[in-house]
Structure 1
Amino acid sequence: MKTKLQAARVARGWSQAQLMDALEDAAERLGMELPSRTSLKTQVSMFENGRREPGADYQALFSEVYEATRAELGLALETAPSQLDALPRQTSLQIPSPTATPEVLGYLKSVFIQHAQAEPLVGPRFLVPAVQSQVPLIEELCKEASGPLREDVVRVGARYAEFLGWLHQDTGDSELAMLWTNRALDYASELDDPVLSAYVFQRRSNIAAEAGQAGYAIGLANAALKQARKLPNQVQAVALRARANSHALLGQADDCARALDEARAIADKGEGDSDGLAGYCSVAYVEMEAANCAIQLQRPHEAVETLETSLTHWPAEQQRDRGLCLARLATAYAQLEDVEGAYNAASQAVAIAQTTGSARILAELGRLQSHLTPWGKLVEIAELNRLLGSMRGT
C-alpha cells in the first residue's frame, strides 16, 4: 500500500535518488547533517514503505522538501527523536526566496540551451537529474513573479516541463512523460499561447502513440492542429507528422499519406518558428517519420529506401536519433527477410542505445525481434537477442 510520503514523491515525478538530492539540499538550508548516501537510501525506503516512522528532524526535512505539513504527509506530529537528533547542528539561517530577475531568467535559459544541445548526444539518463534540479527554483519564481517578468518565468517553466516530459519519454516512462507534458500545457494555458499549446498537444500525441493508445493520440494531434493556420510552418508540420503516425498505427494508409504530404509541403516552406520549438522539423525529418509510418503499414521497401538515404548525411550531433533510425532500418530489413542487413543495422543501434540509454531505440529493437523469430537459431541473431535481453534486465 502506497504511503502518503511515497505518494508525495511520485506526484513530483522524482526518483528516490532525486528525493535524496532534495533532502541533502534542504538539510544544508536548515543547518542539519545527514548520514551517508547509502544509509539515507535505506532510511527513505523504510519511511516510504511504512516500516519506520520518521523522527522529528526527518519530518522537518520532508515538510521542507515537499512544502507540505506533517499531517498532509501522513506523519505523526509527535514521535521519538530520529538519529539526526544526536548529530551536531549548525545555526539555522533564514535564506530568502529567489526573486525573478532578468539575470536569473538568463541563467535558466542558458542552462536549458546547454541541456538541449547535449541531449541528442548523451541521451536522457544523465540529463533527467540535471534538468529536474532546476524545477524547485522555477516553482519558487512562479510563486512570486508578477508584472512583465511573470510571462517570462512561466514560459521558462513550460520549456523545462516539456523537456522533462521528452526525457522521461526517451527513458520509456510514459506515465512521467505525460505528467510533465501536461504540466507544460498548464503553463501554456496561463500564457494563452496557441503556438506553445499546439506544440505541447502534439508532444502528448507522441507519448500516447508510443504507449499504444492510437485513438487517443490522433485526438491529441487533431487538437494541436485546431488552429493550424495560426501556427508557424515547422510547428504545423510536426503536428501533421503526429497525425500521420497515429493514422499509421490505426492502419489508415490514405489518411496517413495525406498528412505526410501536407507536412512535407509545409516543412519545405522554411522555418517560421521564432521560438525554436520545432526547429528540428525539416523535410528530412518528415521523411524519416514517413519511413516509420511505412514500417507500421507493412511497406518495408519504402522505409528502407528513405532510411538508407537519410543515414548517408545524418548530423553528427544527432547521435540518439541516428540510433533510432538504424533500429527502424533493421526492422524494415527484417520485414524484407534481409537478415544480414537487419543484423548489421541493429548492431549499430544497440551500441547507441547502450551509450545514450534511450528506451525508444530499445523499444524499436524489441519490435525487430518479433520479425527475426524465424532466424532465432542463427548464432548472430541468438547473440543479438541475448544482448537485448540483458539490456532490458530480462
Structure 2
Amino acid sequence: MSTGLRSARTARGWSQERLVREIERYARQHVTDVASTASLRVYVSEWENGKRKISDHYAAILRQLLGVTDAELRGAPAVVALPAADGYDDLLSRIDSASSVSASMVKAFNDQTELLRTMDRQLGAANLVDQMTGHLSALEEALNFAVLPSVRRPLALALAGASTLAAWQAIDVGAVERAWRHYELAKRAARDAEEPMYLAHAMGEQAYVLCEAGRPALGVELIRDAQRVLGQGGSPRLWAWLHAAEAELCAHAEMADDARRALDAAMDEIPPGPEDRDPDMLSIFVNGSHLARWRGNVLSILGDDDAVTSLYGALEVADPTFVRARAGLHTDLAHAHLTRAEYDEAKNHLRQARLLASRTGSVRQRRRIDLLSARL
C-alpha cells in the first residue's frame, strides 16, 4: 500500500479524482504521455491500495505535483549502496574529486541554490523536489570526501545554505520529518564551516517545526539558544529576524509580554531603508515592511485589534514576486479580521489566500487557511 501517496494527496485536500486531473494537466503542460482518464482513476486507486507499483514515469510526475521525495512517495526507505570491501580505489577517487573542487565550482553550487530560492519564492516548493534533492546530494557528496579545511569550509557553508532552504521547502509541502533532517544537516554543515550565523538561522527556522507540531514553548527555547550561539556577532538583519521569530513563537506559546518585548527588539535592530536582503547572509530577507507584517501576525495571534493596521500597511508594499509570502499575509489579515468579528473581510482574504496557496502548492498555508475557515 502506498501510504506515502495517499498522505501527500490528502495533505493537499485533493480527492483521487483531483489527482487524476492534475496528472492530466501536468501531461498537457509538459507534453508527456499518460494513460486515459479511466485508466488513471484505476491506477491511482491501485497505487494507494498496493495493487500496482508506481512506475518511474508516473513517480516523476507525482513527485513534482505533490512535492515529495521518491522514498516518501513510495513509502519505502531510500536504498544506500554499500562500498565494496576492497573499495580503497573508489574512496581515493572520490577524495581526489572532492579536493579538486574550485572556488568557481562552489560559486556554481551557490548560484544553483539562489536559482532554486527564486523559483521557490514564485512557484512554490512542490515543483522543485527533484532538483533540490539532486542539489543537496551533490553538495553532500563533495563535502563527505573533502579532506582539508580550505576545501571543506566553503563547501560546508554552501551546504548549510542549501539545506536550510530545502528544509523550509519541506515544511511548506508538509514533509515535516524531511524538514527536521534537513535542519540537522544544515546545523552540522554550519558547525563544519565554523559559521555561527548559519547555525543560528538553521536553529531559528527549526523552531518553527516544533511550534507547528504543537510545542511552541520548546521552540522559544530553541530560538533563544540560537541567539546565545550567535553571541555578540551576527548581522543586524539576522538579529532582527531572530527577535521577530521569537516574538511569533512567544505569541503561540501565550507569552504575550515576551512577544511584545521581542518585537521591540526586532525593530531596534533593523537597518533603515527599503533594502531587505542581508549581504552577510543571502537567505535572510527582512526590512521594516517585513517587520510590519510580522508585527501584525504576532498581534493577531495575541488577539490585538492593532494587528489590522500593521498588516494592511505591509500588504501595500509587499513584493508581488513573493507569492507564498503574500498568501501568508492574506491569511494573517483573515485571522486579524476574525479576531474583530469582521467576517466578510475575513472571507475575502481567505479566498485570496487560498488562490495564492494553490499556485504554490503550499500545504502549510492551506492548513492555516482551513483552520481559519472552520471558524467562519
TM-score class, shorter-chain normalisation, is: 0.7 to 0.9
* 2:356 is equivalent to residue 352 of structure 1: yes
* Aligned-partner Cα distance in 2 for 1:361–1:351: 11
Give the structure 2 partner of residue 81 of structure 1. Answer: none
Give the structure 1 partner of residue 180 of structure 2. Answer: 178
Encode CA deviations 1:23-72: one digit per residue, 9 max, x unaligned.
Answer: xxxxxxxxxxxx9635989xx99xx889xxxxxxxxxxx99x613379xx
* Aligned-partner Cα distance in 1 for 2:147–2:218: 36
Aligned with residue 328 of structure 1, among 329, 332, 345: 332
Give the structure 2 partner of residue 305 of structure 1. Answer: 309
Aligned with residue 265 of structure 1, among 260, 263, 268: 268
Question: What does residue range 233-382 of structure 1 map to in structure 2 within 5 Å?
Answer: 233-268=236-271, 273-299=278-304, 301-372=305-376
Question: What does residue range 78-117 of structure 1 map to in structure 2 within 5 Å?
Answer: 97=94, 98-99=97-98, 100-117=101-118
Q: Which moved more, 1:126-135 or 1:263-272?
A: 263-272
Aligned with residue 67 of structure 1, among 56, 81, 96: 81
* Aligned-partner Cα distance in 1 for 2:205–2:154: 22
Distance 1:36-1:321 versus aligned 2 partners, 3 A rule:
closer
Which letter does structure 1 place at the counterpart of 2:326?
R
Q: Which moved more, 1:315-324 or 1:267-276?
A: 267-276
* 2:42 is equivalent to residue 37 of structure 1: no
CA RMSD across the alignment:
2.9
Encode CA deviations 1:46-103: one digit per residue, 9 max, x unaligned.
Answer: xx889xxxxxxxxxxx99x613379xxxxxxxxxxxxxxxxxxxxxxxxx65442233
* Shift, 1:207, TM fit: 2.0
Gaps of 5+ in 1: 7-34, 51-61, 71-95, 373-394
Give the structure 1 partner of residue 136 of structure 2. Answer: 135
* Aligned-partner Cα distance in 1 for 2:253–2:362: 25
* Aligned-partner Cα distance in 2 for 1:288–1:309: 8
Give the TM-score of the pair, scaled to structure 2. 0.72
SS in 2 for 1:316: coil
* Aligned-partner Cα distance in 2 for 1:103–1:325: 38
* Aligned-partner Cα distance in 2 for 1:49–1:324: 30
Q: How many residues align?
A: 299
* Shift, 1:272, TM fit: 9.4
Give the structure 2 partner of residue 231 of structure 1. Answer: 234
Give the structure 1 partner of residue 32 of structure 2. Answer: none
CA contact (8 A) 1:170 1:358 kept: yes
CA contact (8 A) 2:161 2:283 kept: no
Give the structure 1 partner of residue 164 of structure 2. Answer: 162
* Aligned-partner Cα distance in 2 for 1:222–1:66: 37
SS in 2 for 1:268: coil
* Aligned-partner Cα distance in 1 for 2:59–2:217: 44
Encode CA deviations 1:349-378: one digit per residue, 9 max, x unaligned.
Answer: 111111101122212212312321xxxxxx
Give the structure 2 partner of residue 376 of structure 1. Answer: none
Encode CA deviations 1:201-244: one digit per residue, 9 max, x unaligned.
Answer: 11111222222211210111111111442121111111111211
CA contact (8 A) 2:163 2:182 kept: yes
Encode CA deviations 1:236-262: one digit per residue, 9 max, x unaligned.
Answer: 111111211121112121111010000
SS in 2 for 1:160: helix
Encode CA deviations 1:143-177: one digit per residue, 9 max, x unaligned.
Answer: 32233122111111111111110100111222211
CA contact (8 A) 1:331 1:367 kept: no
Encode CA deviations 1:2-41: one digit per residue, 9 max, x unaligned.
Answer: 9xxx9xxxxxxxxxxxxxxxxxxxxxxxxxxxx9635989
SS in 2 for 1:279: strand
CA contact (8 A) 2:270 2:288 kept: yes
Give the structure 1 partner of residue 146 of structure 2. Answer: 145
* Aligned-partner Cα distance in 2 for 1:240–1:190: 25
Give the structure 1 partner of residue 66 of structure 2. Answer: none
SS in 2 for 1:331: helix
* Aligned-partner Cα distance in 2 for 1:141–1:268: 37
* Aligned-partner Cα distance in 2 for 1:311–1:225: 29
Higher relative contact order, structure no. (Cα contacts within 8 Å, ≥ 6 residues apart): 2
Give the structure 2 partner of residue 85 of structure 1. Answer: none
SS in 1 for 2:317: coil
Which letter does structure 1 place at the counterpart of 2:327?
G
* Aligned-partner Cα distance in 1 for 2:225–2:104: 36
* Sequence identity percentage: 21
SS in 2 for 1:66: coil
Gaps of 5+ in 2: 5-53, 61-69, 85-92
